[in-house]
Amino acid sequence: MKAEHLKLLGHFAVRIDGERILYFDPFHMKGAPQDGEIILISHEHYDHLSPEDLRKAASRNAWVILPKSCRAAAVKAGLSDMRLLYLSAGEEAEVLGVKIEAVPAYNVGKPFHMKGKGWLGYIVTMNGLRYWLAGDTDDNEDVRKIRCDVAVVPVGGTYTMKAKEAAALVNAIRPKAAVPAHYGDIVGTEEDARKFAALLDPDIACDFAK
């Protein structure tokens, strides 16, 4: 299986086309398509909540979904004129006919993305598939419970999982396909993505989705 409707735009920015056009954490956008109907933001760090890139991605009536803990950051970023929906881990919503589930994203043994921050990844059901957009996370007891068809996971290390850790997690939850992300910009290299792909079980397709 290939993640044919999904494109990794760089770093952890993702676009999914289907019943709707969806972006996750737009960053360093090339051009300004302004066609995104649903924009998902994982947390408030500048490489994930980038107001400039969000507005390049978002259509005029786009919905922007953020963690509840990011309300103040959203106001500071000047997003108050947009259609905002705040979720906490464990909550779900249907937005323009697309089911969105908020799931935890946090570090284990690192100080960068603490569980108490309430930051998120998302499971999006679209195109007849469940896409898990992991956000900046490590392998932890919460993400081990996730079931999805396509997993988009960080592999760059330092602030998130390393390639080996990400592959072990994906092998445990067993999606049909996996896409490595969070490399090639601030941290991580394409070698991390290749290492991740090589460590996956053979029945899990690995699509770089670029």
Report domain extents, the chain: 6-202
Assigned token pair, 168: 């072990």
Note the pLDDT of residue 145. 96
What are the residue ranges in the chain where pLDDT is below 70? Answer: 1-2, 208-210
Note the pLDDT of residue 210. 53
Note the pLDDT of residue 160. 87
Note the pLDDT of residue 2. 61
Note the pLDDT of residue 102. 98
Q: Give the global pTM.
A: 0.94
Architecture of the domain spanning 6-202: 4-Layer Sandwich (3.60)
Query: Would you say 46 and 81 are in contact if contact means Cβ atoms under 8 Å apart?
Result: no
Note the pLDDT of residue 188. 75
Q: How far is CA 8 from the centre of its chain?
A: 10
Note the pLDDT of residue 209. 57
